[in-house]
Amino acid sequence: MNILEKIKTNYSASMNEMTVAAYLEECKTDPKAYAKPAERILDAIGEPEVLDTRQDPVLSRIFSNKKIKIYPAFKDFYGMESTIEQIVSYFRHSAQGLEEKKQILYLMGPVGGGKSSLAEKLKHLMQQNPIYVLKAGDEVSPVFESPLGLFADYTDELEEEYGIPARYVPSCMSPWASKRLREFDGDINRFKVIRLFPSIQEQIAISKTEPGDENNQDISTLVGKVDIRKLAEYQQSDPDAYSYTGGLCLANQGLLEFVEMFKAPIKVLNPLLTATQEKNYKGTEPIGAIPFDGIILAHSNESEWAKFLNDKKNEAFLDRIYKVQVPYCLRVSEEIKIYEKLIRESSLREAPCAPKTIELLAEFSVMSRLKEPENSSIYSKMRVYNGETLRETDPNAKSIQEYRDDAGINEGMQGISTRFAFKILSKVFNFDSEEIAANPVHLLYVLEQEVIKMMLPPETETKYLHLIKSLLASKYAEFISDEIQKAYIESYSSYGQNIFEKYVIYADHWMQNNDYRDPDSGEIFDRSILNEELEKIEKPAGIANPKDFRAEVTNFFLRYKAHHAGKSPRWDSYEKIKNVIEKKIFTNTEDLLPVVSFNVKSNEEDEKKHRDFTRRMRERGYTDKQIRILVDWFMRVRKTMA
């Protein structure tokens, strides 16, 4: 079936019509026929995958060995496990008929934090399951009411005959249905029931309301108003003279999104109180109560919430709100996934991106959102939040729970937004007029310029510039130094393996307090000499706790050999020792500078080494233009650090 046929088939399937009696018979066997909006959206979300974080060292540190629920429907929302679980809990409790069914789901968070994206996702999920709507003649109920509204005064009989629990029956029928019932002399069989799918496009059971001008906005944006064109034909109090165009009218049996809700005057919000508590509301004309059985989803930023919260007149309203905080992502690995997704959805997905570019931007974004820790560095805090263990490299680093307790519940509600970060990334990709590509050198420059342009408070600007110029630039200098050195040393892999195996032998003898005889020279190393040799390898990497580190690496080596028929592990198979050995290898490599630079070479041998170097850099993911830019930057930084 091609796409044109598929659209036609889906459209036809959504317009099924039946009698009221047939609908009630269907309710006997299929509870989905009368399911509440919360139940339908839960069904669309689906069952979660339960992830036991004890099986993953990184996740076990982040989530304290708990089992967490991952919902496939929200797979593109990275680092939001807690927020999504709270949202799903709201729907679950509402579906169970608990207090949440009478409350407004309110997403509160900073700009660009994902509130609108979550709202859009929920509206799309609401479209997946159909609703059953009352129809009279050729006219569908203007408020998409459930056929069960006709039985509002007969809930006991309905439950006894058809097994439909009383809580599923609306509190009243609409004025439109009440008028038709009078015209039909009480014959409910003259009504029809139509099966519709909620639609964002057609505003069927899904609607969006936005605050307007404070001076002229009134409740009609929510409850509708009289249609003056029909007053020539009907009285003002006639239900058919009413225009059911308010957000509550259109979102019945579905979802109403109220954007920036607290920017609206309180008088505009008043209909939401009765709509949530009594499941009906009053129109602007004397036409009787209009039923509402839907979900109200609101969102705004923290300042609007604080302003509303501090006004004592809003206490009744605040009691009807289920607040979910939507902070910025605080894990670098998840922030990277957000940027990668945004790039994939643009034409930049084919453009070259040098290693570490996106990671540096993610690190800057996350650090801008973190509360500055006491007696610890913000860089270490960022790495701990990302699930890394810093026991060997930073003795001042705290546990993730200590950092969280110190920061409080509002961490992540300020800082650089994802939206701002992606604008930075766009400028970096287009920085060079000759090549659409991104590299960290251009990123650091663009970041600095954009932070200055933002005209932030002096304290915030100083903090951000420190992160860029001192922290990220120095960390990247270390990274690109390693990259250049790895590409320079062709045989560095075998060299690293030799250091690794020698380290394990020395460490094993040192821990056993045994002397070691070198099989080649016959020289005997006592414990103090072994310690000196081990420290030569450890010191360049700044190992803070050598005794534990030696034991950990040796145990890893011996366990690996025991499980692999005596075969030694590769030196780079264990991240901790890999980093240490790389620091050792690259401690004294001054002779690389003439080779990696793009100056004219004095002899053919250096020229060949330079060609080999650039080839290996290309294999590592760099373009020719990027290699030149990064090498030049590396040379400049090296001079300033010398």
Q: What is residue 519's predicted lDDT score, i.e. its pLDDT?
A: 81
> What is the mean predicted confidence (pLDDT) over 332-353?
93
Distance CA 107, CA 321 (A): 10
Residue 537: pLDDT band by 50, 70, 90 thresholds?
A: confident
Q: pLDDT-based confidence at 253, cuts 50/70/90?
A: very high
Average pLDDT over residues 460-483: 92
Per-residue pLDDT, 145: 93
Cα(340)–Cα(78) distance, integer angstroms? 11
User: Could you tell me the pTM of the whole model?
Assistant: 0.82
State how far the alpha carbon of 330 is from the alpha carbons of 1, 367, 400, 426, 560, in Å.
Answer: 44, 8, 12, 22, 35
Q: Under a CB-based contact definition with an 8 Å cutoff, are residues 327 and 109 in contact?
A: yes
Q: Could you give the C-alpha distances from 41 to 94, 95, 129, 295, 370, in angstroms and in order?
A: 11, 10, 8, 10, 34
Mean pLDDT of 423-447: 93
pLDDT score of 315 more than 90? no
Higher pLDDT, 16 or 213: 16
Cα–Cα nearest to 42, from 74, 66, 13 = 74
- Band of pLDDT at residue 414, cut at 50, 70 and 90: very high
Specify the pLDDT at position 193.
Answer: 95
pLDDT of residue 38: 96
Determine whether 554 is exposed, middle or buried from the number of CB atoms within 10 Å of its CB (0-12, 13-18, 19+): buried
Mean pLDDT value across residues 370-392: 90
| pLDDT (0 to 100) of residue 352 | 93
Q: Which segments of 261-332 are extended strands (E)?
A: 280-282, 289-291, 295-300, 321-325
Q: pLDDT value at position 212?
A: 66
Quick one: average pLDDT of 116-127? 94
Q: Is the pLDDT of residue 635 over 80?
A: yes
State residue 301's pLDDT score.
85
pLDDT at 488 over 80: no
Residues 231-244: what's their mean pLDDT?
A: 89
- Residue 55's CB: how many other CB atoms inside 10 A? 9
Mean pLDDT across the chain: 88
The answer on pLDDT for 273 being more than 90 is: no
Rounded Cα gap, residues 325 and 340, in angstroms:
24
Cβ atoms of 78 and 338 within 8 Å: the answer is: yes
pLDDT exceeds cutoff 90 at 120:
yes
| pLDDT recorded at residue 314 | 81
Residue 318's H or E segment, with its range, is helix 315-318
Coil, strand or helix at 309: helix
Instruction: Supply the pLDDT for residue 195.
Output: 93
pLDDT band at 491 (very low <50, low <70, confident <90, very high): low
Q: Do residues 361 and 339 touch, judged by C-beta distance below 8 A?
A: yes
Question: Taking 90 as the threshold, does the pLDDT of residue 87 lie above it?
Answer: yes
Per the structure block, which two tokens stand in for 260? Answer: 């920036």
How many whole angstroms separate alpha carbon 421 and alpha carbon 598?
Answer: 33
pLDDT band at 360 (very low <50, low <70, confident <90, very high): very high
pLDDT at 37: 96
Q: Please give the average per-residue pLDDT across 342-370, as a whole number.
A: 94
The string of pLDDT tens digits covering residues 567-607 is: 888 887 877 788 787 777 666 555 566 777 787 777 787 78
Alpha-carbon dihedral sign for residues 584, 585, 589, 592: negative
